Amino acid sequence: MPMSHHSHSGEFCNHGENTLQEVVQAAFARKMEVFVLTEHMPREQQDLYPEEIAKGLMEKDLAETFDKYYKEATRLQKEFQNSRIEILIGTEIDWIRPLSKDWIKSLLNRYRFDLFLGSVHHVHAVPIDYDDSTYVKAREISGGSDERLFEDYFDLQYEMLRALQPPIVGHFDLIRLKSKHSDEDLRHWTGVWQRILRNLDFIANYGGVLELNSAALRKGLKEPYPRSEVCKEFLAMKGRFTIADDSHSVNQLGTNYVHLLKFAEDTGIPNITYFKRGPQTFDQRFPNVIIEAISLPELQAKDFFR
C-alpha cells in the first residue's frame, strides 16, 4: 500500500512544480496505491507570503486558484476511479490565529473533501518555516528564545486541534525546521515537552492520525516529522500513524521513503494507517471515507520500496 497523504503541485502552489495531472500520473506510474491531494487552503490578504506579494497576487486570486484546484482534483479523481490508485481530495489548512476557525470552517463547508490536514505554519502570524529571517522575527516576538517559540507553537497547535480535530495532523513538530536545535531531543525543554504530551493526548483521544513526514529528511533534518521521542509517546497512547512525502513536485514523490520506514521500524511502529473510500465513515464530516491499516513488514515488502 505505497501511499502519500500530503502532496502539492506547482499548478496550485507557488513554491511547487509540475501540474496536478503530472503529479497524479507520476504517482500512478510509481505504483502508489493511495494518493491524497492536499493543496494549501487560500489565506487572507494579510497572510500572503512574500512570493505571492511579489507576483501581485491578492486574496481573491488565492480563492480562485483553490476553486480551480478543487475542480481539477475532482476531474482527476473520476479519471482514476477504476484504476489501481485511489485519489482522495483534501486540503492542508493553516491555523494562523483564533479567527482562522471561521475562515477554515467556511472552506470545509464550501467543498466536499475526503479529509484535511491540520497544520501550523505561523506563530504570532509570522511564518516559521519560510526562511530564517521570518523564523527569527517570530522568535523575537516570543521573547527571543527557541524554547519560548516552541511553546507558543504547540499552544497554537492545541488551539487548532481543539477547534477542528483534523483527521491528520500535518508535520507535528515543523517548528524544528529553522531552529538551531532542530535535531535535539525535545524532552530537554520541560515546558515544550509538557505541551507536546498534552497535544498528543488530545489527538489520541479524538482519534486523529499523525503523519510521518519525510520532507524533514529532504530538508536536512536527521529525523522526519515528528521526532522519535514524540512518536514513542504517541504510540504508547495507542495513537495511529500514516506516511507522507509532502511533495511539491514529481521529483519529490516518495523521497526518503525507505529511510522513513526504517525510522518507523526502529521507533517500534507496527502498522501504518491509510485512508480510502468505503461504505462506512471514520468521521461524519467525511462520508464514505474509511481508515484501514497495513503492517509495516507488509508495506516494506511492496515493490515501491525495493
Query: For 144-201, how does the pLDDT look when each residue is reduced to its tens digit (9 = 90+)?
Result: 999 999 999 999 999 999 999 999 999 999 999 999 999 999 999 999 999 999 999 9
Please tell me the predicted confidence (pLDDT) of residue 275. Answer: 97
33-46 tens-digit pLDDT: 999 999 999 999 99
Q: Distances in Å between the alpha carbon of 259 and those of 83, 176, 177, 213, 263?
A: 28, 19, 18, 11, 6
Average of per-residue pLDDT across 1-30: 92
**Confidence check: pLDDT of 1 > 80:** no
* CA angle at 226 for the pair 15 and 97, rounded to the nearest 5°: 60
Distance CA(53)–CA(76), nearest Å, equals: 30
> By CB neighbour count within 10 A (0-12 exposed, 13-18 middle, 19+ buried), where does 61 fall?
middle
243-301 tens-digit pLDDT: 999 999 999 999 999 999 999 999 999 999 999 999 888 899 999 999 999 999 999 99
Please tell me the predicted confidence (pLDDT) of residue 169. Answer: 98
Those residues whose C-beta lies under 8 Å from the C-beta of residue 217, and which sit 6 or more positions away, are 223, 224, 255, 256, 259, 260
User: How far is Cα of residue 45 from the mean position of the Cα atoms in its chain?
Assistant: 23
Distance CA(188)–CA(262), nearest Å, equals: 25
Among 38, 67, 51, CA closest to 275: 38
pTM of the predicted model as reported, rounded to 2 decimal places:
0.96
Percent of the chain at pLDDT exceeding 90: 91
Please tell me the predicted confidence (pLDDT) of residue 281. Answer: 87
Among 305, 302, 297, CA closest to 259: 305
**Confidence check: pLDDT of 306 > 80:** no
Please tell me the predicted confidence (pLDDT) of residue 14. Answer: 82
Q: What is the DSSP letter of 247?
A: B
Please tell me the predicted confidence (pLDDT) of residue 280. Answer: 84
Please tell me the predicted confidence (pLDDT) of residue 25. Answer: 97
Average of per-residue pLDDT across 132-142: 97
Q: What is the DSSP letter of 202?
A: H
Please tell me the predicted confidence (pLDDT) of residue 16. Answer: 78
Phi/psi of residue 132, nearest 5 degrees: -65, -40
187-236 tens-digit pLDDT: 999 999 999 999 999 999 999 999 999 999 999 999 999 999 999 999 99
What 3-state class would DSSP assign to 53?
helix
Q: How confident is the model at residue 10 (pLDDT cuts 50, 70, 90)?
A: confident
For the CA atoms of the chain, what is the radius of gyration? Answer: 18
Distance CA(108)–CA(178), nearest Å, equals: 30
Among 194, 200, 192, CA closest to 175: 192
90-116 tens-digit pLDDT: 999 999 999 999 999 999 999 999 999
Per-residue HEC secondary structure of 1-25 comes to CCEECCECCCCCCCCCCCCHHHHHH
Q: Where are the alpha helices (DSSP H) in the chain?
A: 20-29, 50-54, 59-79, 100-110, 132-141, 146-164, 190-206, 215-218, 228-236, 257-267, 296-300
Distance CA(65)–CA(254), nearest Å, equals: 26
